[in-house]
Amino acid sequence: MVRGTIPRQPAKTGRHEGPRRTLKPSPPLRTKAPRLNPPLPKSGNSGAPRYVKKYDPLAPERVNQILKRLDERYPKATCALHHKSAWELLVATILSAQCTDVRVNMVTPVLFEKYPTVQHFAALKPEELEPDIRSTGFFRNKAKSVVGAARKLASDFGGEVPNDMEKLLSLPGVARKTANVVLGTWFHNPTGVVVDTHVTRVSHRLELTRQESADKIEQDLMRIIPRERWIDFSHQVIWHGRRHCMARSPKCAECPLENLCHAADKTWSTVEIHKAAKP
């Protein structure tokens, strides 16, 4: 026997072993393949896919809510500067730059007692007016503006304050903010939105604008606020900025706009904060 060769033996079962068969591979187990793009959840009964809407701070329903709540909280908001005529309001508004309305209201009664008409102011040299308005700050520039405006009104407009934006802007020291105050408050003429420090701050916090300059902020606000609301909106936002939405430590817990506001510097919030929403 050749070494290493093992003779084939009959199987103990009595059956001869046949040739080796190749086993057929069993079919793979059927498992549920994961979906690469799961379908969006269905909404309500309609069966239509529900898409998450991108937040739009200028959405008309949001803006309307802001206007409604401002109306409810400040139904009688108006200009805080005391005045009895368009001229007195114009002077008071010029004096209110970088000064509180309370201070201006202390200065103007004495001033108008001393100089009752436009012509009285027009006859002054600016230096003569300076001592009377000194406490309002920036008194040299303000004296030039008031006397310059009085002279222009006396020479070109018969001593009357015109109900016209372009004419008002031709007066020394009068920019759109002052013109809007006079036109809106005295003439009830909605020519624009008053943009002062309060309107700027609140509009930024509420994400109504991202602009920095007063003119561009006003343009944005005029686009999203209905014209018939421009005058009230201006007064209401100024009141809101003074009473709740102060520059430091705004009173968010008492604010009627709280759940519509995502300002980054809120002191209390029930909604998510938007880092870019800041003064």
Span interacting with ligand SF4, options 1-9, 25-33, 43-51, 246-254, rule CB under 6 A: 246-254
* 261 sits near ligand SF4 (criterion: CB under 6 A): yes
By beta-carbon proximity to ligand SF4, the closer residue of 115 and 233 is 233
Q: Which of 148, 173, 192, 250 binds ligand SF4 (CB under 6 A)?
A: 250
User: Rounded to whole angstroms, what are the CA distances from 40 to 10, 52, 56, 130, 188?
Assistant: 67, 10, 22, 70, 52
Q: Is the Cβ of residue 90 or residue 255 nearer to ligand SF4 in the bound state?
A: 255
Size of the site for ligand SF4 (CB under 6 A): 13
Catalytic residue among 196, 265, 266, 275: 196
The span from the CA of 102 to the CA of 203, in Å, is 24
Q: How far is CA 148 from CA 63, 83, 110, 143, 203, in A?
A: 40, 20, 20, 8, 33
Given 83, 204, 235, 266, the residue binding ligand SF4 (CB under 6 A): 266
- φ/ψ (deg, to 5) at 49: -65, 145
**Cα distance between residue 108 and residue 133, in whole Å:** 8
Q: Is 192 in the site for ligand SF4 (CB under 6 A)?
A: no
The answer to the question of residue 258 lying near ligand SF4 (CB under 6 A) is: yes
In sequence order, what are the beta bridge partners of 42?
Answer: 49
Among 106, 251, 264, 271, binds ligand SF4 (CB under 6 A): 251
Query: Is residue 196 among the annotated active site residues?
Result: yes
Considering the rule CB under 6 A, would residue 238 count as an interface residue with ligand SF4? no
Beta strands in 12-129 (DSSP E): none
Confirm or reject binding of residue 263 to ligand SF4 (CB under 6 A): yes
- Helices 101-114 and 126-133 pack at an angle, to 10 degrees, of 130
d(CA 203, CA 238): 11
Q: What residues act catalytically?
A: 177, 196
Contact set with ligand SF4 (CB under 6 A): 205-206, 244-245, 250-252, 255, 257-258, 261, 263, 266
